[in-house]
């Protein structure tokens, strides 16, 4: 811990002026309040609230100035990325909400490849490879491996999991 | 990747009824492949994942419980089982698979430790990253 | 540093809140979201356990948007439970060193 008790005497000695105190305070604020989050979503849209909660959390985190390192869609969560979802007009379109949020904030949204293949979420390359009539992955979602989740967990400050 | 974190994966769901147990195992294997320190906790219905003699042939699924035996190849050799969860389900350690790993001096050790719930608090607190399935 | 525990299932349907409370350290925070907010009311099967957790120093929160969505009377929340919004959820995740999601 950077600001553990054992460091206080040394830091205190270095505080020769008000300016350095201010700099220390800014340093403290920056590292303690600007977090790098990774979000994992395990459930599809509509049946469970998890994707909605994750969406509202992500928006609030961005608004507070935090960084979203990656949003990882796992298990049935991959169904959030299907462009073939056509909910009634007076209802929220969860896939579109995610695509738009990603577009506006340059979010990295990754769909687990193994989970996606099991559940029929395909990009054009995979649709061609398996001779399927169409690809269905929505804009701003990318299919990639589970390693992307582990990498994100390693480099992020916090991992939040939303699911069933 | 040079950064190493301590991962704790908490498994609380029974196998086969849902996919969570299987996909949790995939996360653990990949984390192991990334050379992260991984500890596993099995509690609540998660203890059923470790039972011996699973045979899902009749329900047309793969027997993924055999994969637990490969965990030691990924240096995943700290597996904690909540004793209270076992007791509440009429199970004990003899109902579970016998998983082992080798120490540096080639000694065979048991990977599974049955521990009281209180001990799990410290294991959870020791983690940098927590996965829950 | 401490852990933020989130619970999203009704304690009358699943045992995740109970398991969570049994594994909270003294400095933990517990946030009830989604269906778990029904556990924030007084005089239920779980309210005694939550009150005991609050008395032992564990901080318990409930997500306002989920309480409102379900029409739960805020006047009947267990004493000591703090109401937060999504911004408060983000702050809790940042202030604690890790998040344990009891799914």
Res. C69 pLDDT band, cuts 50 70 90: very high
Closest CA to C99 of A35, A52, B31, B42: A35
Enumerate residues 6+ apart whose C-beta is below 8 A from A35: A61, A66, A67, A157, A158, C93, C94
Q: Which residues of A fall within a CB distance of 8 Å from C20? A: none
Q: Which residues of A fall within a CB distance of 8 Å from B22? A: none
Res. B67 pLDDT band, cuts 50 70 90: very high
Write down the pLDDT at residue A29.
60
CA distance C52 to chain A (A): 27
Catalytic residues of A: 112
H or E element, residue A19 = helix A18-33
Instruction: Write out B64-126 in H/E/C secondary structure.
Output: HHHHHHHHHHHCCCEEEEEHHHHHHCCCCHHHECCCEEECCCCCEEECEEEECHHHHHHHHHC
pLDDT at B12 exceeding the cut of 90: yes
State how many domains chain B has: 1
Residue A141 DSSP SS3: strand
Closest CA to B74 of B27, B10, B113, B18: B27
In tens, the pLDDT along B96-123 reads: 999 999 988 889 999 999 999 999 999 9
Closest CA to B43 of B126, B125, B124, B127: B124
pLDDT at A62 exceeding the cut of 70: yes
In tens, the pLDDT along C9-48 reads: 999 999 999 999 999 999 999 999 999 999 999 999 999 9
Write down the pLDDT at residue A27.
63
Q: Which residues of C fall within a CB distance of 8 Å from A159? A: 98-99
C56 touches chain B (CB under 8 A): no
A4-8, A78-82, B10-14, C91-95: range with lowest mean pLDDT:
A4-8
By C-alpha distance, the chain A residue nearest C14 is A164
- Decide if B1 is inside a domain: no
What would the two tokens of residue B118 be? 């209180």
Write down the pLDDT at residue C1.
80
By C-alpha distance, the chain A residue nearest B38 is A150
Report chain C's mean pLDDT, rounded to a whole number.
97
Residues of chain C in Cβ contact (below 8 Å) with chain A: 1, 6, 8, 33-35, 65, 85-87, 89-91, 93-94, 98-99, 101, 103
Write down the pLDDT at residue A39.
98
Res. B3 pLDDT band, cuts 50 70 90: confident
In tens, the pLDDT along A126-153 reads: 999 999 999 999 999 999 999 999 999 9
Q: Which residues pair with A144 in a beta bridge?
A: A112
- State whether A161 and B131 contact (CB < 8 Å): yes
CA distance C3 to chain B (A): 7
Query: What domain range includes position B17?
Result: 6-132
pLDDT at A16 exceeding the cut of 70: no
Report chain A's mean pLDDT, rounded to a whole number.
89
- State whether A66 and C94 contact (CB < 8 Å): yes
Of B12, B120, B128, nearest to C98 by CB-CB distance is B128
Closest CA to A135 of A96, A100, A84, A80: A84
CA distance B132 to chain C (A): 6
With pLDDT > 70 as the criterion, what percentage of chain B qualifies? 98
- State whether B132 and C22 contact (CB < 8 Å): no
Res. A22 pLDDT band, cuts 50 70 90: confident
DSSP-derived letter for residue A17 is S
Of C85, C94, C99, nearest to A159 by CB-CB distance is C99
Cα gap B60→C58, rounded to integer Å:
46
DSSP string, C45-98: TTHHHHHHHHHTT-EEEEEHHHHHHTT--GGGBPTTPEEE-HHHHHHHHHHSSE
Q: Report the residue of A53, A58, A157 to disrupt the C interface, i.e. the one with the largest count of C CBs within 10 Å.
A: A53
CA distance B15 to chain C (A): 15
pLDDT at A1 exceeding the cut of 50: no
- Decide if B123 is inside a domain: yes
With pLDDT > 70 as the criterion, what percentage of chain A qualifies? 82
Residue B125's CATH number? 3.40.1260.10
Decide if B98 contacts B59 (C-beta within 8 A): no
B5 touches chain C (CB under 8 A): no
Q: What is the ipTM of this complex?
A: 0.97
Of C34, C90, C98, nearest to A49 by CB-CB distance is C34
- State whether C94 and A159 contact (CB < 8 Å): no
In tens, the pLDDT along A93-124 reads: 999 999 999 999 999 999 999 999 999 999 99
By C-alpha distance, the chain C residue nearest A33 is C94
- State whether B117 and C25 contact (CB < 8 Å): no
Domain assignments of chain C as residue spans, ordered by start:
3-102
Architecture per CATH, domain C3-102, reads as: 3-Layer(aba) Sandwich (3.40)
Ordered by where they begin, the domains of chain A are 1-33 (no CATH), 34-162 (3.40.1260.10)
A52 touches chain B (CB under 8 A): no
- State whether B36 and A114 contact (CB < 8 Å): no
């Amino acid at each position: 811990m950077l600001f553990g008790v054992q460091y206080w005497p040394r830091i205190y000695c270095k505080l020769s002026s008000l300016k350095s105190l201010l700099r220390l305070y800014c340093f403290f604020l920056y590292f303690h309040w600007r977090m790098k989050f990774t979000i994992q979503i395990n459930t599809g849209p509509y049946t469970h609230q998890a994707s909605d909660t994750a969406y509202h959390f992500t928006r609030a985190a961005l608004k507070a100035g935090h960084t979203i390192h990656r949003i990882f869609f796992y298990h049935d969560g991959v169904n959030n990325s299907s462009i073939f979802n056509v909910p009634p007009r007076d209802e929220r379109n969860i896939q579109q909400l995610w695509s738009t949020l990603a577009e506006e904030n340059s979010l990295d949204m990754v769909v687990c490849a193994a989970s996606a293949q099991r559940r029929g979420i395909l990009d054009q390359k995979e649709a061609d490879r398996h001779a399927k009539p169409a690809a269905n992955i929505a804009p701003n979602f990318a299919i990639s491996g589970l390693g992307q989740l582990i990498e994100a967990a390693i480099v992020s400050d916090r991992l939040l999991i939303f699911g069933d | 990747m040079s950064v190493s974190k301590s991962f704790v994966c908490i498994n609380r769901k029974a196998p086969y009824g849902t996919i969570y147990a299987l996909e949790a195992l995939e996360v653990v294997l990949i984390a192991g492949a990334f050379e992260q320190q991984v500890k596993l906790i099995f509690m609540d219905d998660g203890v059923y994942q470790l039972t011996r003699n699973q045979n899902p042939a009749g329900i047309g699924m793969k027997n993924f419980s055999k994969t637990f035996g490969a965990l030691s190849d990924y240096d995943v050799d700290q597996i904690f089982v909540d004793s209270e969860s076992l007791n509440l389900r009429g199970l004990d350690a003899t109902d579970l698979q016998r998983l082992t790993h080798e120490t540096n001096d080639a000694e065979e050790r048991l990977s599974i430790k049955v521990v009281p719930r209180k001990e799990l608090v410290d294991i959870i607190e020791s983690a940098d990253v927590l996965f829950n399935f | 540093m401490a852990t933020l525990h989130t619970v999203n299932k009704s304690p009358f349907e699943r045992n995740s809140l109970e398991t969570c409370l049994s594994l909270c350290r003294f400095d933990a925070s517990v946030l009830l979201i989604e269906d778990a907010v029904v556990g924030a009311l007084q005089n239920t099967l779980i309210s005694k356990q939550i009150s005991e957790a609050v008395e032992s120093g564990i901080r318990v929160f409930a997500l306002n948007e989920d309480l409102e969505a379900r029409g739960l009377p805020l006047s009947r929340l267990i004493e000591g439970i703090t109401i937060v919004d999504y911004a408060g959820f983000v702050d809790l995740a940042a202030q604690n060193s890790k998040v344990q999601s009891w799914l």
